[in-house]
Chains A and B, each alone.
Chain A
């Protein structure tokens, strides 16, 4: 939209004014303060917002003070395809006209004109954004405090919320928020009022429930009273019935009691008669017992007498048998003792011979030991003199072997002399006697020199050459070595050495033999023990024959002594057997005799006792018969028996009479009835107590006005419920409204963010450089500026930069207002007061560039500030 011309008449302090604006680019409206510059922008708002008849205080405010005149506003403008003149007269003779010249002519008046103008606006521009922009015009930028940005968001809220453009008034959406906040916290939780309402409802409900319970309890009590009264009547009747029953049973019981007394009497009589009968029977039985006792004693007495008569001979026989047995036993014992004596003798004889033999053996063993010891002593002596041990012998042998070798070498190396006897001949060779048979050859080696002497005939001396002398010398050395070895061993030659070695070995063997002989012959004894035994036995054995009894004679040798010993042992065994048999026989005879003697004695004692017993019984019987004769006793018993039989009949009759009455049944019934009576009385008492309790309760609680209380509580509950429901409904409505509004608002804000940012950056790059970027929040405020990659939050920017960015933001806003991209007039009222001259110059370029896209109207009292805005129309006011 572009404002072409505004004409005012009687507007505030202005009587008449007309301002024409350049169709594109900038228009600078110059004029001192109070010249009415701001009225131009305000009048455009008033023109579109209010009907000519409006009494709104904003409309009232434009009325000239102290003048009763009408105010006129006329606007020539273009918007989208439309070009129109819009006129309104307020206060007096209100009038509205709209004359559209493009795209086709239209004429409207009155409300129709107002609505058509509004429709043209809606069709061509974003009315909300335009209104928001209008609300900002010349306000925030002029504020000294530039800490806050121009609140486009708040302006949009106010614009969308209705006609009120007065920022001093609360916006609709602030009211919606307040309404919501009345019920909910910022986090959406319920506030106290809602909670209190819910609690109040719960309390009221509890009160009603409590009273209903009390009411019901009382109603139940009323029913209970009726039931308890019924119970009391019923129990009363039952009590009477049971009492009557008890009375009937009592009569029967009285009769039964009489019959029981009669029965008891009969029982007593019967018992008495039975006792009498029993006494008579006992008496009779006692008499019979006495008679039986006498008879029995007599029989037993006779039997005992017979037994005593027969026991005398038996005892005599037993005595005799015993005498014989004693004799046999004595004889057997003597025989046994003789045999024992003989056996002792024979055993001594055997020992004698045996010891004798043993002594010889011991002596032999001792001799063997002694001999071995002697031989060993000789051997030990030899060992001390004989030094030829194995080592020495070996040495001698080696010396001997060396000598043989030396001799052989001498013999081989020295000249030899063959002697052949033509006859048996005796000669001396080197002084030694030698003989040669006839035709016998004898070779002599001449190691050095040999001298042959035929006695008395010839003396021949043969001498060997030089080598033979060496060999001979070696031979001699060997011979000396042998001699030396033999001498060291204490022998004269090797043969003797060998003999001495054998002797030494023999001596060693004998010493060893002595040890073995000692072990073999001493066995488990020491030599001293052996020696003591030999001496002991040597003393004892020779004296035995002299000390021994003469008969029987001593046996000749050990073997016969052993035979006699065996014989004596056998005899003793036989005599022992005979003695044992005789002794057993004797014991048996003695036992028989003792038993018979004891039995006889016992029988005699029994007879004495029985005699006394019989006498006593006979006396007792006599006394009893004297008192009551036997026949009287029998008569008495018979009589008693008859009486008992009679009493038994009487008792049975009484018993039958009682049985017919069924006493047990009647007693049981009586007891049951008495228990029932107690139970029913208890029940009646309980019912009476219950009734009294309930009646008391009813009396106490029945007059408390529970009926009214309950009704009052129910009314309260209904009231509280209604109130609570209404409150909840109001709160829900507030919440829904708040949330729906917020949702839609956020959506709308988001739609503005991108184009706004684009336009801000487009124009900002003129002022800063190509790296200029901004962040625009959903609340449509610049949150930060980025320049050369460095981002600074809006609040941290300088006052001048803030002002410039705010102006650019407003420019951007003005540019996106037009739906066809044409924008809306941007009115700046003395902006850029904080901008330095350099930036002012750049801002001039920005405004000039923006002026190509939308109309910019600058109201100023300082025209110099805008000298860098390029080509601009200038209007002077005041």
Chain B
């Protein structure tokens, strides 16, 4: 039984536009920390080696600093690490793996899989890597790599690959999609015994063999990831396979696709929900607000967002469906009269316009309310 650690999609160097500079740095650091965590887990779990199934780097054109930090973190991994070039960091002319920065500082136990020739990791253990040479391959690279392989009887082969399996690919016409059938055939023919996949950021098992897995990204990178922040500890031999997920990630991307917002209670409800989020510094929240608010409540909501966005990793709000309608109560207590009242009436009338003029009028009213408050 061979035990190894299956991971991928580290996406080192990834940036997110909604992060402020400081948060971006935290986010990046977490990904380097994840490497060290994986090293620690590998040691604890007594793994023989680690396979990283593509997209180790977000791009081939990343900063030297990112490469330095990645290699520095990899130094702390106590077992051999096999890095596979994926679609983000293909083994092309600009490959980060061929850069002097990488080559000069690469620790000896870190290996880059540069071709499809089986690599002997240890006695009875081989890795068949399927590296990407370009961003847009025009065929099923796994099928190409496994087709010429002979069945093996005394060796356990781990195929390390990157890309979408045809059974779950969102693009059915993708020529690079990996054929699940062909992969399963290769497994049944003892050409390979485990297909370690990267590209999908959520931990996913595919097919019925129990030998085809996406380990997912060790840190979540987007809202639509179902189960990211994990790695797989794999126990494998020709007869059996056992996988165990281990949590690595610290960041969470939380999206609420509809938050009704009409009353003061709704605002308070949202406030409570936000307050209850754990580890807010590593939480990225996206809210789509739906409803109608008065100027006053809208102002309160804005205040809430200003406050909470200072605490969260990031807060994204979508307010296209949140309508702000000035109400009588917004102006009560200011004692507007005469032409001031008529000004308010005119702007309120304009505010009913669905177009930009309406927005401008609502903004003007909001400003009026703010200034009136200040005047008092």
Taking Cβ atoms with an 8 Å cutoff, the residues of A that contact B are 122, 126-128, 131, 156, 159-164, 169-173, 175-176, 179, 215, 218, 221-222, 225-226, 694-695, 698-699, 702-709, 711-712, 714-715, 718, 729-730, 732-734, 736-737, 740-741, 744-745, 747-748
Contact = CB atoms under 8 A, between A and B. Distances in A.
Interface string B59-95: 1111111110000000000000000000000001110
B375 A706 contact: no
Contacts of B368: 172, 176, 737
Interface stretch (B47-55, B222-230, B332-340): B332-340
B342 interface: yes
A703 B59 contact: no
Contacts of A163: 334-335, 376
B165 to A, nearest CB: 26
Contacts of A131: 337
Contact of A176 (B92, B101, B341, B371): B371
Contacts of A737: 343, 347, 364-365, 367-368
B13 interface: yes
A221 B339 contact: no
A698 B336 contact: no
B100 A699 contact: yes
Nearest to B15: A711
Given A160-B337, A170-B375, A708-B13, A221 B93 contact: yes
A718 B19 CA distance: 11
A126 B368 CA distance: 23
Given A171-B375, A222-B92, A733-B364, A708 B15 contact: yes
A699 B365 CA distance: 57
Contacts of B15: 708, 711-712, 715
Contacts of B240: none
A745 B372 contact: no
B93 A695 contact: yes
Contacts of B359: 729
B272 interface: no
Given A161-B372, A702-B94, A730-B363, A215 B338 contact: no
B238 to A, nearest CB: 39
B13 A736 contact: no
Contacts of A706: 61
B361 interface: yes
A172 B375 contact: yes
Contacts of B101: 703
Nearest to B342: A744
Given A172-B372, A737-B367, A741-B340, A162 B334 contact: yes
Contact of A736 (B65, B334, B361, B371): B361
A712 B13 CA distance: 11
Contact of A707 (B61, B347, B366, B376): B61
Contacts of B93: 221-222, 225-226, 694-695, 698
Interface in B353-374: 359-361, 363-368, 371-372, 374
B371 A179 contact: yes
B99 interface: yes
Given A172-B340, A225-B92, A733 B360 contact: yes
B340 to A, nearest CB: 4
Nearest to A175: B371
Candidate in A127, A159, A164, A698 with the most chain B CB atoms within 10 angstroms: A698
Nearest to B102: A703
Contacts of A732: 360, 363
A215 B347 contact: no
Given A179-B367, A732-B363, A736-B347, A215 B61 contact: yes
Contact of A164 (B62, B67, B364, B375): B375
Contact of B99 (A122, A126, A221, A703): A703
A283 B3 CA distance: 114
Contact of A161 (B67, B94, B375): B375
9 contacts: A128-B338, A162-B335, A221-B93, A704-B63, A705-B63, A708-B66, A733-B367, A744-B342, A747-B342
Contacts of B258: none
A709 B64 CA distance: 12
Contact of B376 (A164, A176, A695, A715): A164
Contact of A744 (B343, B361, B363, B372): B343
Candidate in A164, A698, A708, A732 with the most chain B CB atoms within 10 angstroms: A708
Contact of A222 (B58, B67, B94, B340): B94
Contacts of B342: 744, 747-748
A707 B335 contact: no
A170 B58 CA distance: 56
Contacts of A711: 15, 17
B247 interface: no
Contacts of A736: 347, 360-361, 363-364
Given A218-B94, A707-B59, A741-B339, A172 B371 contact: yes
A583 B66 CA distance: 139
Contacts of B67: 703
Interface string B100-136: 1100000000000000000000000000000000100
A159 B376 CA distance: 13
Contacts of A127: 337-338
B297 to A, nearest CB: 18
B318 interface: no
B347 A740 contact: yes
B346 A740 contact: yes
B146 to A, nearest CB: 24
B339 A745 contact: yes
Contacts of A160: 336-341
A707 B62 contact: yes
Given A122-B337, A702-B96, A704-B61, 5 more contacts: A162-B372, A706-B61, A707-B61, A737-B343, A748-B342
A695 B361 CA distance: 57
Contacts of A694: 93
Contacts of B19: 715
Contacts of B13: 705, 707-708
B319 to A, nearest CB: 13
Contacts of A225: 92-94
Closest 10 CB pairs of A and B: A705-B63, A225-B93, A733-B363, A711-B15, A128-B338, A707-B59, A160-B340, A748-B339, A160-B338, A744-B339
B356 to A, nearest CB: 9
Contacts of A709: 63
A480 B89 CA distance: 177
Given A172-B372, A730-B363, A705 B347 contact: no
B363 A740 contact: no
Contacts of A748: 338-339, 342
A430 B361 CA distance: 175
Contacts of A733: 360, 363-364, 366-367
Interface string B128-152: 0000001000000000000000000
A707 B63 contact: yes
B340 A702 contact: no
B343 A741 contact: yes
A161 B375 CA distance: 9
A748 B339 CA distance: 6
B367 A734 contact: yes
A441 B346 CA distance: 173
Contacts of A179: 367, 371
B58 A707 contact: yes
A221 B368 CA distance: 56
Given A162-B336, A226-B93, A715-B15, A729 B363 contact: yes
Contacts of A122: 337
A663 B361 CA distance: 94
Contacts of A730: 363, 367
A109 to B, nearest CB: 20
B328 to A, nearest CB: 14
A304 B67 CA distance: 126
A729 B356 CA distance: 10
Contacts of A718: 17
